[in-house]
Each structure stands twice: as structure tokens, then as C-alpha cells.
Amino acid sequence: MSFEYIPHKTMIGVRDRPILWPKPHSEEQVMFKEMSRNRRMRDLDLNPCIKETDASSKCMDENNYRKEMCTLYFIKYKNCRKFWNDVMMHRKRDGVTPYMPTAEERENMLNSLGRVPY
């Protein structure tokens, strides 16, 4: 991993110690950082819980943003994120890249389970 020196300005001036920030490793990481958060949230390969996100947003819109009316949707979203985060951690531990399975891989995994586990 290579590092680049970026001076850090404080209220007094530039720090006497350099702060080393890691340079991006690949073009893919650079592209990921440049994508806006909203675009990343809508990307099927990066966000496995788009359907649950949309359902909870729709529920909030229909119920004038009364959270108690949408608790079930929030629980489904939370369980979805937990499930796919566990999958991602297992893949990371096993050295499988990318850590988050692609949309097609996730669909095949869910079909092999026979049901949605969350």
C-alpha cells in the first residue's frame, strides 16, 4: 500500500507531523468514492435491500410519516441488512471478492434457499 502526504491545517497552522492517507488501490475504488451516496443506495449490486427500502419509504409516505404504522417494514429492512451483512462478513473472512455478492448471485442464493430468510 502506498501513501501520500497531505498537510493537515489546524487553528495554529500546519501540523508538525505528517498525516498519511492511503491512496486508492484500484479504479473501482476511485469510482465507488466518486459515486454519490444516493446513487450507491440505488445500485442493485451494492444495496441488496432496495425492495425493503422502497417499501418502508412508501409506507411512511402513505401514513404521513407516523413511524409506529411502519414498524413491520422497518423490521424487514433491518433483518435484510443484517442477513446480507453476515453474508458479506463470511465472504470477507473466506477471501471471496467482491465481499457483497452481485445482484445475480444474491438472487441465485435466495432461490436456492427457497424463501427469503428475513
Closest CA to 24 of 7, 40, 3, 45: 3
pLDDT at residue 43, rounded to an integer: 80
Read off the pLDDT band of 39 (50, 70, 90): confident
Instruction: Give 38 or 60, the one with higher predicted confidence.
Output: 60
Q: Which of 4-18, 24-38, 50-64 has the highest average model confidence (pLDDT)? A: 50-64
Please give the mean pLDDT across all residues of the chain: 82
Residue 90 backbone dihedrals phi, psi, to 5 degrees? -65, -40
Mean pLDDT, residues 33-42: 72
Read off the pLDDT band of 45 (50, 70, 90): confident
Rg of the chain taking only CA atoms, in angstroms: 20
Would the pTM of this model clear 0.85, i.e. be above it? no
Q: Where are the domains positioned within the chain? A: 3-113
Distance CA 20, CA 4 (A): 6
Distance CA 51, CA 38 (A): 15
Is residue 6 over pLDDT 70?
no
Instruction: Give 32 or 66, the one with higher predicted confidence.
Output: 66
Per residue in 2-25, is it b (16+ CB within 10 Å) or e — as a string? Answer: eeeeeeeeeeeeeeeeeeeeeeee
